[in-house]
Structure 1
Amino acid sequence: MSEASARRAAFPFSALIGQAPLQQALLLAAVDPGIGGVLVSGPRGTAKSTAARALAELLPEGQFVTLPLGASEDRLIGTLDIESALRDASVRFSPGLLAKAHRGVLYVDEVNLLPDGLVDALLDAASSGVNTVERDGISHTHDASFVLIGTMNPEEGELRPQLTDRFGLMVELENCYEPQIRQAIVKARLAFDLDPRGFRTGYEAQQDAHAARLRDARAALARFSFDDAVLAHVSTLCIAAGVDGMRADLVMLRAARALAAFEQADAVTVAHVDSVAESVLLHRRRQDEPASQQQDGSSAPSSSSAQHASTDGATASAEADYGYLPPEPAGLTRVKGVIPLNAKKR
């Protein structure tokens, strides 16, 4: 293998070690890109870009497109030649990165450092599967179905909550401090760098199996439906997490369906919902939600608490007054030579 070919070779997705939650989230987004992409948060050196490149190789077209930090909106969505439209009454469209990423992976490193407008355009296309460019009353629309993978290092700043919520799934990576796993990761990486072709050969069968299951899962999505038990469980989880709006419910159902399709299951089950719930709720869960909130989301007191309301109220009052000292009368001393304010002038 030439040096250029070695640089192009991707580390096999099947060879990733200690990244099960990330692998699952990426596979779900690949099965159903309408989930809205994956936000990956973690420190440097936790294989975020390695996993993204590895996923692209499993897709039919294998497209892997990177959005540079300094990219303009035109570079992302494409441009329209207005002069030709006015002159020839025809639309001449110059494709951007969204068109190039169609049926592949669009990777955005340090997405938290991009302008909000650019992130908005990314998320719109990722969730809808289409990109529309409008200039001076002229528009052009094209398919843009891709797996959006945004990565960020929380030490460099956070995304606004309104943008974070629009990512379908989120995974938080942490530094590995387990010696055996750490050693296995290092050995695998060294072996790949030394002989990429030989290393990849050992994972060909697993890679082919992953790619085949992805294709089959995409084709099988339409046959799945959701029964009342699954819908009720999703609602319960989302209400307990105190999420805003209905996006979490919809994403959780789509993610559970994608997992059922990838696992070649007969139906979407509550177990599938539980498997995807954390990646759906991680960036949507209200941080101020009380731990004791009921799962049905009701804030009404239970019958047992109602029976002891007066006792609880007295206890709470006592606790609130803890350390409080009541006022004490203070003596007054008359000072000679000082005329009281209310004294009448003679």
Structure 2
Amino acid sequence: MVQTKEKRRVFPFTGIIGQSEMKLALILNVTDPRIGGVMIMGDRGTGKSTTIRALVDILPEIDVVTDDPFNSSPTDPEFMSEAIREMFEAGQTLMSSKKKVPMIDLPLGATEDRVCGTIDIEKALTEGVKSFEPGLLAKANRGILYVDEVNLLDDHLVDVLLDSAASGWNTVEREGISIKHPAQFVLVGSGNPEEGELRPQLLDRFGMHAEIRTIADPKQRVNIVQQRIDFDANPEELLKTYEKEQQELRNNILRAKELLPEVKISKDLRIKISQVCSELNVDGLRGDIVVNRAAKAAAAFDGRAEVTAEDIGKIISLCLRHRLRRDPLDTMNSGDKVKVIFEKVFEVTA
């Protein structure tokens, strides 16, 4: 008798209490992966991993070329590996299948070869063919790459991840042989600030930065604990309770992705965004770009094709707080500092 593998039950995303910053940042990044990923910093045991896995579980399945190691799209050349694109342009029929959006965990001890993939030099020299063993970046293409305790990861590997996330491609070169493949993924890092911060130049490369804290309210804590106990005892029952909200969120994300290309942001709002970045002395223009993209994603998620000041207010701290220069004598939280300048520039009255 063949035993079927039981599907692992994942805690429902819409059932997670609190942590609104983290949930908003994750939703906006799956709506528009070009935002540049999320860095989630906070206390241990605050549901970081649970929330990320819950979001992946809610995402709709994607179409992939059957047996392709890079999760290539069968219809969109932008999401195809070079070999699949050549077949597509030659008019060959591509077999396709449905697949859950991949979520890849990157272990702290991973080597560069494990992350990027390896080239079989011996086969290349003796047989004259490029033999490539895909790594974690290939498996994460069109999905989410999650790095827990990213602040403890080797800086060189963090650089590799951020470069691939920004360019959408991973290039492996060895002994004069070069292979590249698509690596378009949402990079999600999490960590505990007590164990060390990322270098500012690396932190700046993450699109958004969510701060989460242990919930202090005793009633909320009791609700969270009880919810977890109920889920462990009978996951099906709890999932059924949130089935409607889960489907609504899934539909909202799908609708937002379709609406996103049509969303506009006025020149006046774009000038004000750049004015906020300027007054905060944010280095470079990455902050301006991310705020514009995140505001458009926020508007699309709300079902609107025009960005408002309220959309910008929701996301601007998430996009800029980690880009501010640090002053050890400054007692104000960086997120609060962003909010103060935003309210001044956008003339928000209490």
Counting aligned pairs with the same residue, the percent is 46
The 5 A counterparts of 1:148-227 are 148-227=187-266
The 5 A counterparts of 1:37-52 are 37-52=37-52
Q: Distance in 1 between matches of 2:126 and 2:102?
A: 35
Is 1:286 the counterpart of 2:312 in the alignment? no
The letter for the 1-side match of 2:252 is R
The letter for the 2-side match of 1:36 is G
Partner of 1:23: 23
Pick aligned residue for 2:128 from 72, 89, 105? 89
Give the stretch that moved more between structures: 75-84 or 13-22. 75-84
Q: Distance in 1 between matches of 2:123 and 2:200?
A: 41
Offset at 1:88? Answer: 3.3
Q: Count residues with an aligned counterpart.
A: 294
Q: Structure 1 residues 46, 295: closer, same or farther in 2, change over 3 A?
A: closer
Q: Secondary structure at the match of 2:291?
A: helix
The 5 A counterparts of 1:1-346 are 5=6, 8-59=8-59, 60=61, 61-288=100-327
Offset at 1:266? Answer: 2.1
Offset at 1:295? Answer: 5.8
Checking the alignment, whether the CA contact within 8 Å between 2:260 and 2:305 is kept in structure 1 is: no
Partner of 1:344: none
Give the stretch that moved more between structures: 261-270 or 11-20. 261-270
Checking the alignment, whether the CA contact within 8 Å between 1:33 and 1:126 is kept in structure 2 is: no
TM-score, normalised with respect to structure 2 = 0.79
Q: Structure 1 residues 88, 230: closer, same or farther in 2, change over 3 A?
A: farther
Q: Distance in 2 between matches of 1:216 and 1:173?
A: 28
Q: Secondary structure at the match of 1:265?
A: coil
Offset at 1:5? Answer: 4.1
Checking the alignment, whether the CA contact within 8 Å between 2:32 and 2:257 is kept in structure 1 is: yes
Q: Structure 1 residues 268, 88: closer, same or farther in 2, change over 3 A?
A: farther
Q: Distance in 1 between matches of 2:196 and 2:58?
A: 32
Q: Secondary structure at the match of 1:65?
A: strand
Q: Distance in 1 between matches of 2:180 and 2:260?
A: 25
Checking the alignment, whether the CA contact within 8 Å between 1:229 and 1:270 is kept in structure 2 is: no
Q: Structure 1 residues 236, 90: closer, same or farther in 2, change over 3 A?
A: same
Deviations 1:30-58 (A, max 9, x none): 11112111001111110010011111112
Offset at 1:83? Answer: 2.4
Unaligned runs of 5+ in 1: 297-346
Offset at 1:229? Answer: 1.5
Q: Distance in 1 between matches of 2:31 and 2:302?
A: 11
Q: Distance in 2 between matches of 1:42 and 1:128?
A: 28
Checking the alignment, whether the CA contact within 8 Å between 2:162 and 2:205 is kept in structure 1 is: yes
Q: Distance in 1 between matches of 2:279 and 2:16?
A: 33
Partner of 1:313: none
Q: Which runs of 4+ in 1 moved over 6 A?
A: 289-294
Q: Distance in 2 between matches of 1:46 and 1:5?
A: 27
Q: Structure 1 residues 115, 104: closer, same or farther in 2, change over 3 A?
A: same
Q: Distance in 2 between matches of 1:137 and 1:234?
A: 45
Q: Secondary structure at the match of 2:179?
A: strand
Deviations 1:82-141 (A, max 9, x none): 222233333221111111112222111100111111001111122222212122222222
What value does the CA root-mean-square deviation take over the aligned residues?
2.4
Q: Distance in 2 between matches of 1:166 and 1:240?
A: 20
Q: Secondary structure at the match of 2:323?
A: coil
TM-score, normalised with respect to structure 1 = 0.80
Q: Structure 1 residues 15, 210: closer, same or farther in 2, change over 3 A?
A: same
Q: Structure 1 residues 17, 90: closer, same or farther in 2, change over 3 A?
A: same
Structure whose alpha-carbon radius of gyration is higher: 1
The letter for the 2-side match of 1:140 is I
Q: Distance in 2 between matches of 1:66 and 1:171?
A: 19
Checking the alignment, whether the CA contact within 8 Å between 1:66 and 1:106 is kept in structure 2 is: yes
Unaligned runs of 5+ in 2: 62-99, 343-350
Q: Secondary structure at the match of 1:283?
A: helix
Q: Secondary structure at the match of 1:282?
A: helix
Q: Secondary structure at the match of 1:17?
A: coil
